[in-house]
Amino acid sequence: MVTTRKMTVASMSSTTTRSDAASQTELLWEHATTQTSGCRVCPTLTPVSDGNDGHTCRRCAQVEDLLQLVMELREEVSRLRSIRECEREIDSWSRILHPMTETQQADKTPATESSISSLTSTEGGNLEDRGQWQEVPARRNRRCTRDCPMTTPSSQVPLLNRYSALQRNLDDDEHNISPISPTLEPSARSSQTSPCIKTSVVKKKRRVLVIGDSLLKGTEGPICRPDPVHREVCCLPGARVKDVKRMLPSLVRPSDYYPLLLFQVGSDEVTRRSPRAMKKDFKTLGRLVKGSGAQVVFSSIPPVAGNDEGLNRRTQQINAWLRAWCCRQDFGFFDHGLIYKTPGLLVTDRNTLTSRGKRVLGQELSGLIERALN
């Protein structure tokens, strides 16, 4: 009886041991399968997390990120190369066209001087000769002058100077002034009132001019700090677009090579002038800088009117027209957007920016300059 009980206990213990070993083996295999998995890119077995359904190892994920960065860098390099090619083409055309314009101007100057002197001498002779008017024939070629005589029979109709009485009342100073033909007065007047901007074709480091109204006050630090020698901020408090146009020829030097002209103007006069008058002034300024050999960028008028909806609507109207006009004229345009409506950037009592707003404006313009120069 005792022997039978011992055999039963031994068999039960052996059966229990075998089942425990089998269960432990199965747990080990299950644990091994949950800890390792195959990558869908490379054939290696790498540990992955339970929530990762893509079965991608960390090394392959890093390789994909690096490939994405390489593609972005290639696109950026191609963009910069295209910009450099465009600048080289502009430089080559400017070198070709500048001597041609100089020679044309040099050829036109002697002809104009000779025509003025001939007209002056003719009119002076007519004023001095008060007895009888004479008819001067038109110029002809040499063959015609040899064949036909230059003298013509005098007219039988008596010609008198009806304004001789008015001539006596002229002052002595007016007698000394040489008369100018009425046809030449508009050109001389236009040459005196419309100065031109000249730049150099000799390649050197570019100069940056930021010109605008009182909104630029306090932005000199962020703009000029990267290159104080070749960057300049011209703040004209209360200046209008026509004032900037009048001051611009004295700011641009003839020795400047392909300068960058950035205009931040219009915020001081948007409250006082009509959009039609401002558009006319912008067109006049554009005609002045067009073809001057400078890179021109116009900046939008920031909405600094606060809660004045009418003034903000007028500002948006001028900015929309300015964007389309710059696109037609091949000028650059920078849009500030609605960033200055953020609390803390605008003074509530006046239509001006706070110190923080001026710092933001300076950083925006500085970033624009870096992108334009590169």
- CATH class name, domain 208-373: alpha beta
Give pLDDT, residue 194: 56
> For 17-69, what is each residue's pLDDT tens digit?
555 554 555 544 445 444 555 566 676 655 545 444 555 678 888 888 899 89
Question: CB of 210 within 8 A of CB of 264?
Answer: yes
Q: What is the pLDDT of residue 287?
A: 93
Could you report the average pLDDT of every consecutive run of 10 residues in the chain (374 residues)? 51 54 50 54 57 64 89 91 88 80 67 57 49 60 50 49 47 44 42 68 92 91 92 91 92 92 91 91 94 93 78 91 95 91 78 88 93 90
pLDDT the model gives residue 245? 93
* Domain spans, the chain: 58-96, 208-373
Q: What percent of the chain has pLDDT over 70?
A: 59
Global pTM?
0.50
**Contact predicate 345/339, CB 8 Å:** yes
The pLDDT of residue 372: 92
C-alpha dist (Å) from residue 146 to 39, 135, 208: 103, 19, 62
What are the pLDDT digits (tens) for 231-278? 999 998 888 999 999 999 999 999 999 999 999 999 888 888 899 999
